[in-house]
Structure 1
Amino acid sequence: MIWIEFIIVLFAIWLGARLGGIGIGFAGGLGVLILALTCGIKPGSIPFEVIEIIMAVIAMIATMQVAGGINYLIKISERLLRHHPRYITVIAPIVIYVMTLLSGTGHTAFSILPVIVEVAKEQGIRPSRPLSMAVIASQIAVTASPLSAAVIFFASILEPRGVSYINLLSVALPSTISAIFCTSILTNFFSKESKNYQLYPARIIRNEILLKNQQMNNVNPNAKRALLLFLMSIISVMLYTINTNNSISLINKHILLRNDAIIVFMLTSATLICIVCKVNTNDILSTSTFKSGMSACICVMGVAWLGDTFVKANFNDIQILAGNTLKTYPWMLALILFFSSIMLYSQAATTKAIMPTALMLSVSPLTAIASFAAVSALFVLPTYPTLLAAVEIDDTGSTKIGKYIFNHSFIIPGTLAITFSVSFGFLFGSLIL
């Protein structure tokens, strides 16, 4: 029976991938309906705590975007890329990593991808190198962001096992940034030129590819204030979370739980930006960040609900099947997370569906934290929005989706980056935890 249910889950995910975008969330709900009606399975839990955090953070980011804060960050990033164009394959993913780290979402990469393409073309560098690494960095950085729903949820289930929020970040941050840096260097020096790219110089001569000098637009006078309020909200979240930790307990009365605190700080910061920067709240709803963030909420709701329904209905079988394997080969958790994230299409959804079960199967906190970056394998299927955007933006034809679906420009650097992240995770985890 479990295999029939598993086929239904795979069918729903396949259908969602075919629909694209928000469709994967819709298909997740369809999968729950089929499991309930045909197999008599009671629906699992919808991860509303994860969705609430995503909504609050996205609302805050969208408000900052209207106030000009996002554009100001883009200007800083563009200036950095243009001052060191020869090293764009290393600098671009680091820039995207930092932006994702601050915002808790990889969708901020959309705004930097066009700049990366233009700088790469001006330097005669194949754009697929920095573009592929930038997309991978935007996905892996989510597992180290203090604001991401995946990190917040993971920290909440690690605390009862003696691992604090700051312990998690102290392992996730160095391991993921080191992995991105190492993979960027390998991608820069060891990737082979593709046949399509050999035509690049001739296409420039025929003026089929335009080299543009990006002009710095006027910065909104409120942009710096919006960015400052945003950074203050991030610091406030981290300080409150650290101070309410059981091992520190500077704040003994936990009036606000961690999730509540994040939501409150984000919404408060958005309110202050609206007042101080005179933001028209109607404009927030039409921003690209708000639209993509709300789409992500639907995707997480549908897919995570489907995953939770399947796991809870078959927990005993999964425990027997996976329990002994993980006890003998704990590193296998990284593979489970890797392939689960391909299907679940979200770091937060994968963390919510797999990590509680893994910890209940006596997987050590060290193994769970070291393997955490593997929830970022969203690049394997070439359907993720930032991946598709990179392919569309690259008018040189070097960034592409292969004939056989999986042989695309992101598969090798992405797999390498996650392998490095997990390896560094075990290294730093053994030293810190």
Structure 2
Amino acid sequence: MLSLELAIVLLSIFIGARIGGIAIGFAGGLGVMALALLGIHPGNIPWDVILIIMSVISAIAAMQIAGGMDYLVSLAENLLRRHPDKITLLAPLITYFMTLLAGTGHTAFSTLPVIAQVAKEQQIRPSRPLSVSVIASQIAITASPVSAAMVFFAGLMEPKGISYPLLIAICVGSTLSAVILTAMVANFLGCELKDDPIYQQRLAKGEISLQPSNQVALKPGAKRAVFIFLVAIILIMAYATAISPAVGFITAPQLSRDQAIIALMLTAALTITVSCKIQTDLIVTAPTFRSGMSACICVMGVAWLGDTFVEANLELIQHTASTLLHSYPWMLALVLFFAAMLLYSQAATTKALMPAALALGVSPITAIASFAAVSALFVLPTYPTLLAAVEMDDTGSTRIGKAVFNHPFMIPGILAISLSVCFGFALAHLLL
């Protein structure tokens, strides 16, 4: 039965991945229904994760309609154009911190065209900064104080004596260090742009645009929207720290951390809407809103499917894996890596596997160090930000090979996650 159940899970994920996008969430529902027909009781739908994603995305979409994203992109473009020779380092730092603040990697969409254009103007191979920037936007989810994956993981760690601010400090330190080192290595990946035959062919055919993109006029409320959003994030971090048992400033909070994030983000969205005088019907048309709501469906279907399978076979999984993980704790990172590759969501992977790993007796240090591995969304070249980077690079340097897996995101992705796990073990042993 276990083999049949696992086959259903993998087949459902495969079908969803082949269709792409939101379909992986639809396929999760199909898998749950198939397992239910075998007599398996459906698991829990991760409503807490979904509601956090919805509230954060609502605030980001309101900020985008108010012009806040254009303002942030203009700041990023000014920085890159002042230091174009350092684009391979600066570009991933920009996407990392945008994701860190927003809690979603979809913010990278707006900066990718700028990165590609500046690199091309400087005759720097665009695949170098683009590949690391996409990876940075994915891995920063595991360090963001408002991401659904981090909020859920923090809830698992606090009963283990790991405070919210300490967890954030370890994750930011390990992932940021990994991104910086990966960016340095990326400078040596691939041939120089002038030596790339595909670039030369496209250049000869006139298929490459060398004109800089036009500056977008900022809306009157752009800066105000960004300020409101940043204030909301600061309040969330302050409240989450204050109610942490390790800090204990607030011993009997009226709102849980999840509820505080949802309430503050919805309030921020309302404040931006009113103070910046934006039309509410435009918010649902924002690209970040559409991609965020798509992510909710994906998390709902895939995490529900994963929880159904794990709960049905928890005793067998515990018996089989406990000895292996006790002897080789780093194996947890590999498990999370391959699961994220299929589940296509940091939040869904965390929700589906982290509770089971802790139930097996995995130490908090191992769990924290391995957490970055849930960001392995780059292995299959079908993730939206990855595809966007490929489309926006008209030089052809950011291309997917015939073997599917031989794409420019693979080496930076594996390197960044490996370094994050190593740094995570070092920092966790040092600080815990």
Could you tell me the TM-score, scaled by structure 1's length? Answer: 0.98
How far is the alpha carbon of 1:207 from its aligned partner? 2.7
Q: Deviations over 1:165-217 (max 9, x none)?
A: 11110100011010000001001135445998234246435532111223333
Q: Distance in 1 between matches of 2:246 and 2:190?
A: 46
Is contact 1:71–1:219 with CA below 8 Å preserved after alignment?
yes
Q: Deviations over 1:13-72 (max 9, x none)?
A: 0000011100000000001111111x2111100000000000000000000001111110
Letter in 2 for 1:413: P
Partner of 1:241 in structure 2? Answer: 240
Q: Distance in 2 between matches of 1:130 and 1:360?
A: 40
Partner of 2:11 in structure 1? Answer: 11
Letter in 2 for 1:379: F
Partner of 1:32 in structure 2? Answer: 32
Partner of 2:284 in structure 1? Answer: 285
Q: Distance in 1 between matches of 2:281 and 2:257?
A: 29
Letter in 1 for 2:88: T
Letter in 2 for 1:186: V
Q: Distance in 2 between matches of 1:334 and 1:275?
A: 45
Q: Distance in 1 between matches of 2:47 and 2:127?
A: 37
SS at match of 1:146: coil
How far is the alpha carbon of 1:420 from its aligned partner? 0.5
Partner of 1:113 in structure 2? Answer: 112
SS at match of 2:188: helix
Matches within 5 A, 1:159-170: 159-170=158-169
Q: Distance in 1 between matches of 2:207 and 2:260?
A: 52
Partner of 2:143 in structure 1? Answer: 144
Q: Deviations over 1:72-109 (max 9, x none)?
A: 00000011111111111111111000100010000011
How far is the alpha carbon of 1:269 from its aligned partner? 0.9
Q: Distance in 2 between matches of 1:410 and 1:387?
A: 8
Partner of 1:411 in structure 2? Answer: 410
How far is the alpha carbon of 1:404 from its aligned partner? 1.5
Q: Distance in 2 between matches of 1:296 and 1:402?
A: 27
Is contact 2:125–2:193 with CA below 8 Å preserved after alignment?
no
Partner of 2:351 in structure 1? Answer: 352
Could you tell me the TM-score, scaled by structure 2's length? Answer: 0.98
Partner of 2:152 in structure 1? Answer: 153
Letter in 1 for 2:400: I
Is contact 1:196–1:398 with CA below 8 Å preserved after alignment?
no
Q: Deviations over 1:306-342 (max 9, x none)?
A: 0000000010111011111001111111001000101
Letter in 1 for 2:212: N
Deviates more, 1:232-241 or 1:197-206: 197-206
How far is the alpha carbon of 1:394 from its aligned partner? 1.2
Q: Distance in 1 between matches of 2:334 and 2:247?
A: 34
Letter in 2 for 1:124: Q
Letter in 2 for 1:18: R
Residue 423 (structure 1) aligned with residue 414 (structure 2): no
Letter in 2 for 1:5: E
SS at match of 1:279: coil
Is contact 2:193–2:199 with CA below 8 Å preserved after alignment?
no
Q: Distance in 2 between matches of 1:199 and 1:312?
A: 50
The CA RMSD measured in Å over matched residues stands at: 1.3
Letter in 1 for 2:356: T
Letter in 1 for 2:249: L
Q: Distance in 1 between matches of 2:356 and 2:206?
A: 56
SS at match of 1:405: coil
Partner of 1:389 in structure 2? Answer: 388
Distance verdict in 2 for CA 1:272–1:70, change over 3 Å? same
Q: Distance in 2 between matches of 1:138 and 1:330?
A: 27
Residue 126 (structure 1) aligned with residue 117 (structure 2): no
Letter in 1 for 2:145: P
Partner of 1:400 in structure 2? Answer: 399
Matches within 5 A, 1:267-278: 267-278=266-277
How far is the alpha carbon of 1:432 from its aligned partner? 1.3
Partner of 1:21 in structure 2? Answer: 21
Distance verdict in 2 for CA 1:296–1:306, change over 3 Å? same
Deviates more, 1:243-252 or 1:113-122: 243-252
Q: Deviations over 1:320-377 (max 9, x none)?
A: 1111100111111100100010111100000001111111111111110011000000
Deviates more, 1:175-184 or 1:201-210: 201-210
How far is the alpha carbon of 1:305 from its aligned partner? 0.4
Is contact 1:60–1:266 with CA below 8 Å preserved after alignment?
yes
Distance verdict in 2 for CA 1:123–1:53, change over 3 Å? same
Q: Distance in 2 between matches of 1:195 and 1:211?
A: 14
How far is the alpha carbon of 1:126 from its aligned partner? 1.1
Gaps of 5+ in 2: none
Letter in 2 for 1:289: T
Partner of 1:50 in structure 2? Answer: 49
Matches within 5 A, 1:219-230: 219-230=218-229
Q: Distance in 2 between matches of 1:51 and 1:190?
A: 37
How many equivalent pairs are there? Answer: 432
Is contact 1:197–1:396 with CA below 8 Å preserved after alignment?
no
Matches within 5 A, 1:163-312: 163-192=162-191, 197-201=196-200, 203-312=202-311
Letter in 2 for 1:99: M
The percentage of counterpart residues that share the same residue type is: 59
SS at match of 1:189: coil
Gaps of 5+ in 1: none
SS at match of 1:273: helix
Q: Distance in 2 between matches of 1:419 and 1:387?
A: 20
